[in-house]
Amino acid sequence: MAAALLFYYFGDDEAYFRALQGEFRKHAKLQIEFKRIYEKSETAIQSLFVQAFKDKPSCVFVDFSKQTPDYLHLARLISRTPFGHKILMVGLLDYLSPPEVLKESIATGANLSFIKSAETFDVVYSVSKLITPDGVGEHGFASAKLNEEYVAGTLCKIGYVNNAGIHIETDRKLSKGDRVEMNHHWLDKSVVPSKHMFVKEVSASNMLYQFKYNADLDFLVIDDFIPPEGMEEAHVQEKQNEREENIIYHQKQLKRWIDDNISSSLEKKAKILVVDHEFHFYQDQARTDKYPYTVRCLPFFTDIENELGRLQPQIIAYALDEADNAKNSLEGILKLSATLALFFPDLKPFLIVFNSQLSSTDLQAALQYNKAIAHSEELSPALLLKLADALQKKMVENAGEVIIKKGVNQNIFIKKTHPSSIAEILETVTITKLSETDMIIQSEFPFAPGTNLHFTLPVEMFVNVQPVAKPSGKLPEFYGLIHSLGETQKKSLRQFVNSVFFREHDAKLNTENNEFKKLNDMKLNERNLAAQKAIDDDAAAAEQAKKD
By the 8 A CB rule, do 25 and 52 touch? no
Rounded Cα distance, 333 and 362, in Å:
13
Give the chain's mean pLDDT: 90
By the 8 A CB rule, do 363 and 355 touch? no
Which pTM was predicted? Answer: 0.88
By the 8 A CB rule, do 83 and 51 touch? no
By the 8 A CB rule, do 31 and 2 touch? yes
Q: What is the pLDDT of residues 246-258, one digit of tens each?
A: 999 999 999 999 9
Percent of the chain with pLDDT over 70: 89
Q: What is the pLDDT of residues 111-149, one digit of tens each?
A: 999 999 999 999 999 999 999 988 788 898 999 999 999
Mean pLDDT lowest among 211-215, 387-391, 461-465: 387-391
33 pLDDT exceeds 90?
A: yes
Q: What is the pLDDT of residues 374-425, one digit of tens each?
A: 999 999 899 888 888 888 787 777 765 544 444 456 899 999 988 899 999 9
By the 8 A CB rule, do 170 and 425 touch? yes
Ranges of each domain in the chain: 1-137, 146-266+410-421, 271-406, 493-548
Q: Do domains 1-137 and 271-406 have the same CATH topology?
A: yes
pLDDT band at 541 (very low <50, low <70, confident <90, very high): low
Q: Which candidate, 541, 489, 538, 535, places its Cα nearest to that of 115? A: 489
Rounded Cα distance, 195 and 182, in Å:
5
The pLDDT assigned to 464 comes to 98
Strand, coil or helix: what is 12? coil
Rounded Cα distance, 537 and 524, in Å:
20
The class that CATH gives domain 1-137 is alpha beta
1 pLDDT exceeds 60?
A: no
Return the CATH number of the domain spanning residue range 271-406: 3.40.50.2300
